[in-house]
Amino acid sequence: MSVASLTLVHAKYSLIETMRIPIAVIGTVVFPALALLFFVVPQQAVAGNPEYATQAIISMSVFSVMIGSLFSFGLGIAENREKPWEPYLRSLPAPGIARVLAHILSTGLLAIVALIPIILVGGLLTSARVTPLQIVIGLVAVAVACLPFMLLGMVIGYALPMKAAIAVIQVTFFALAFGGGLFLPPQLFPSWLDTLSQFLPSRQARDFVIWAVQGGELTPLTWLGLIGWTVVLLALVLVLFRRDEGRRFR
Amino acid sequence: MTALATLDHVTRTFGSVTAVDDVTIEIREGEMLGLLGPNGAGKTTVISMLQGRRRPTSGTVQIFGGNPADAASRRRLGSTPQETALPDSLRVGEVIDFVGAHFSDRRVTAELAEEFGVGEFLKRQVGSLSGGQKRRLSVALAFVGNPKLVLLDEPTTGLDVDARHSLWAVLRAQHERGATVVVTSHYLEEIEALAERVVVMAGGRVVADDSLAGILGRVGLRLVRLETDQPDRVAALEGVSHRDGSDYFVRDSDAFLAALVTSGITFRDLTVRGATLEEAFLSLTEGAR
């Protein structure tokens, strides 16, 4: 069986399992739209300016996919490793890369679906204006730019037991969200923080999606950084997956 | 006969615990091998290393001539989860299809389900099945890909007597179709019903590896049951291996009875019979300690 067909099979049954308990998806889908509604919409300085509003929506989208990725990948994997079904699946003839890609497809798809409420709230309640083509380009850009977060979530999930994973994810997502300019725009950063920020995948993802939607200049550090994070984290996930023997007890 | 799988001087430790200690086993094509031992003997660790789920700390594990950690080596391997580990929200048919999708030569879902007695539940969610139905589904999963080597870890745990006997019949039929089967159990009756060759494990080591008849013959203990007011004197007689309540295990029951009568000890309710595999196995594992 090819890696592609096994990837689709694993993604399919993972989605079926998720969809059988649809309420579990609501957190992922609604939370980012609520954040936009409370933090961006009331601020006229941002919401009233088409350029800033679009950037704020993009930041919120990246934030949304990032938080969704870290939590669903990290917690989902850490939780599954503590159940006996996951070790059984590992005994089937599917290579590690098929499991990793299937996770990205199924969980990643839900994270992208979660962007629809953000785009609706942003389009209806702020002065952000984009064409349908820009929305499509933006979604593709978010999907690509957020690969490092999905992989990072998987690294955490395979490296740590569930309770430790929760703590690490909370710290990681806050540092990445703030440091990457997703809460406060980087224009407000002091220059040392701005420099540091450009090495973070969250900042690179934000800048990449803004470039894809609004145009402008893309610094090499942004796209080189995204590729670098993706390659390094993918390699790390594959190593951890191969080493993984389920939860370790002492 | 060629070896489908081998463990060569395999040791596996978990922290300070040695679960498997210098074990060498060769699994030959076409056999039905019973891996027998009490809980904690290392049976499940052996199975999980053959499945590629755990790596040996030292020594080599091979299946089909390759490393079990590589997915390609597992293409003709079928196994079953030890606990009822199935995802509750999937339907029975979906679980079979999911596992079946990994194999190029796979059984038809409905036919396999019928054979293992879960045919009427294909549309039901796994969570709604009883414990016994889940167990039968778990065992069915081992056979969905027409495997050459099947690893069954405690296949009938939690089944009632009837269900256990019917599952044994299905397993024997699968073996006759050509599958090489390794079955672990601490149900001695199960090993007696299924295995042709028996590997007995205790404390992480192999304490015996022989044909079923050989295991019984080698231990060759007879069980003498009798009531007496002086059990300690009876136990002290020549040829008594050990005593368990009113059961005395002896190598030669004729010589023992002669000695018993000569000793003048009064006794009643005498029975003499061959020791079962369970009893044989107890004396083997006690020897290993």
For residue range B144-175, list pLDDT tens digits in order: 999 999 999 888 887 888 888 988 999 999 89
B63 has a pLDDT exceeding 90: yes
**A58-103 per-position pLDDT tens digit:** 888 888 888 888 888 888 888 888 888 888 888 899 888 888 889 8
Check residues A39 and B100 and name the one with the higher pLDDT: B100
pLDDT of residue B264 exceeding 60, the answer is yes
CA distance B160 to chain A (A): 23
* Helix, strand, coil % over all residues of chain A, rounded to 5: 80, 0, 20
Contact state of B75 with A93 under an 8 Å Cβ cutoff:
yes
**Inter-chain CB proximity A245 and B71 less than 8 Å:** no
C-alpha span between B102 and B181 (Å, rounded): 20
Q: HSE on the CB side for A26, CA within 13 Å?
A: 5
At residue B49, the pLDDT reads: 93
Rounded to the nearest integer, the mean pLDDT of chain B is: 87
CB contact under 8 A, B94 and A13: yes
Among candidates B15, B72, B86 on the partner chain, residue whose Cβ is nearest the Cβ of A93:
B72
Residue A186 and residue A198: Cα distance in Å, rounded? 10
Q: Quick check: B69 and A87 CB within 8 A?
A: no
Instruction: Report pLDDT for A49.
Output: 86
Residue of A16, A20, A90 lying closest to B53 (CB–CB): A90
Helix (H) or strand (E) segment spanning residue A74: helix A50-81
A247–B contact, CB cutoff 8 A? no
Q: Which CATH number is B3-76+148-217's, of 3.30.428.10, 1.10.260.40, 3.20.20.70, 3.40.50.300?
A: 3.40.50.300
Among A6, A21, A85, select the one facing B86 at the smallest CB separation: A85
Domain ranges of chain B: 3-76+148-217, 87-143, 220-288
pLDDT tens for B106-136 read 999 999 999 998 999 999 999 899 888 898 9
- What mean pLDDT is reported for chain A? 86
The residue extents of the domains of chain A are 3-243
Mutation target among B44, B88, B98 for the A interface, most CBs of A within 10 A: B98
Q: Are the CB atoms for B150 and B121 separated by under 8 Å?
A: no
Kind plus residue range of the DSSP H or E element containing B34 = strand B32-36
Contact B35, B204 (CB under 8 A): no
* pLDDT exceeds cutoff 80 at B5: yes
Nearest CA to B49 out of B13, B103, B89, B101 is that of B13
pLDDT of residue A222 exceeding 60, the answer is yes
Fold of B220-288: Alpha-Beta Plaits (3.30.70)
A154-163, A227-236, B207-216: range with highest mean pLDDT: A227-236
Read off the tokens for B147: 């495997």
